[in-house]
C-alpha cells in the first residue's frame, strides 16, 4: 500500500513539475513571438511601428504588411495605409471620422439604414506635411523632420501631449472610415499604441478593421 501511495505521489509531483515548466517557458518566450487569435482575422496586434525612420505599409485588401525605410525609393504596388509611429498616410485614399466606438455597431447601423455614406465633401485626403525622423536632439531643443504625406483625420486616432514628461497618450477610440482609391470602403479602429508583452513599449500599434464595408444603395 505504501509503494502504491509513493508511486501516486510521484505521478502528481511530476505533473506539477511539468505544468510549472510549461508555464515558465511561456513567461520567458520572446515577446515578439506572442500571437493573438485576432491576428488571424481582420486585426493587427502589436505591430512594431517604433522606428522614426520607417513606415509600415498595410494592404487591407489582402491583410499583408511590409516595413520600409521612410525614404525608400520603391514601395509596394498595392497598399492602403501606412503607419509611422502614430502618423498615418494612405495610398490615394480619403478618411472620415465617425462618432462610433464599435465597428460592429457601425456596421449594424449601416445595415439598418441609420448611418449613410458621408457626402463627398466630408472625406479628407492626405496633405503634404512632415514626420519626425530623429528624436535624439530633443534635449538640445530641436528634432529632425522629413517631408511626407499624412492623413490628418486618421492621425487623430491618438493625441500625444508632449507638454509633460512622460508624454500623455489619449486614444480617440473612434471608428474611422477609409474610402479606398478603388472606390471601396473600410472601417478601422485603433486599439493600442503599446505592447503589453514587451513592457508596454510605445510605438506598437494594434487595430481592428472591416473590409469591405458596404453601404446601402
Q: Tell me, yes or no, whether 173 lies in a domain.
A: yes
Residue 154: domain span:
37-210
Same-domain pairing of 106 and 133: yes
Q: Tell me, yes or no, whether 215 lies in a domain.
A: no
Q: Tell me, yes or no, whether 5 lies in a domain.
A: yes
Q: What is the pLDDT of residue 136?
A: 84
CA 88 to CA 154: how far, in whole Å? 6
Question: Mean pLDDT in each 10-residue stretch from start to end of the chain (217 residues)?
Answer: 42 38 32 38 92 98 96 96 98 98 96 97 98 87 93 97 88 98 97 96 97 91
Q: What is the pLDDT of residue 164?
A: 81
Same-domain pairing of 81 and 6: no
The radius of gyration of the chain's CA atoms, rounded to the nearest angstrom, is 23
CA 186 to CA 209: how far, in whole Å? 7
Q: What is the pLDDT of residue 49?
A: 98
Q: What is the pLDDT of residue 177?
A: 98
Residues in a beta bridge with 128: 149
Same-domain pairing of 29 and 97: no
Same-domain pairing of 129 and 167: yes
CA 127 to CA 117: how far, in whole Å? 23
Q: Phi first, then psi: what are they for 200, rounded to 5°? A: 55, 35
Number of domains in the chain: 2
Q: Give the torsion sign (CA, 99, 170, 33, 82).
A: positive
Q: Tell me, yes or no, whether 1 lies in a domain.
A: yes
Q: Phi first, then psi: what are they for 79, rounded to 5°? A: -155, 160
Q: Tell me, yes or no, whether 216 lies in a domain.
A: no
Amino acid at each position: 500500500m505504501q509503494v502504491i501511495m509513493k508511486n501516486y505521489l510521484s505521478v502528481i509531483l511530476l505533473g506539477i513539475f511539468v505544468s510549472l515548466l510549461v508555464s515558465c517557458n511561456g513567461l520567458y518566450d520572446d515577446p515578439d513571438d506572442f500571437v493573438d487569435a485576432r491576428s488571424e482575422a481582420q486585426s493587427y496586434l502589436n505591430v512594431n511601428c517604433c522606428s522614426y525612420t520607417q513606415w509600415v505599409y498595410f494592404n487591407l485588401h489582402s491583410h499583408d504588411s511590409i516595413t520600409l525605410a521612410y525614404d525608400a525609393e520603391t514601395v509596394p504596388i498595392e497598399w492602403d495605409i501606412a503607419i509611422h509611429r502614430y502618423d498615418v498616410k494612405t495610398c490615394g485614399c480619403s478618411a472620415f471620422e465617425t462618432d462610433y466606438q464599435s465597428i460592429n455597431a457601425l456596421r449594424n447601423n449601416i445595415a439598418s439604414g441609420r448611418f449613410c455614406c458621408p457626402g463627398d465633401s466630408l472625406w479628407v485626403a492626405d496633405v503634404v506635411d512632415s514626420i519626425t525622423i530623429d528624436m535624439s536632439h530633443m534635449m538640445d531643443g530641436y528634432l529632425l523632420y522629413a517631408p511626407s504625406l499624412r492623413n490628418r483625420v486618421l492621425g487623430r486616432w491618438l493625441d500625444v501631449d508632449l507638454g509633460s514628461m512622460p508624454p500623455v497618450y489619449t486614444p480617440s477610440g473612434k471608428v474611422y472610415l477609409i474610402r479606398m482609391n478603388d472606390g471601396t470602403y473600410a472601417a478601422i479602429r485603433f486599439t493600442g499604441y503599446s505592447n503589453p508583452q514587451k513592457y508596454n513599449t510605445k510605438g506598437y500599434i494594434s487595430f481592428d478593421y472591416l473590409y469591405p464595408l458596404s453601404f446601402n444603395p
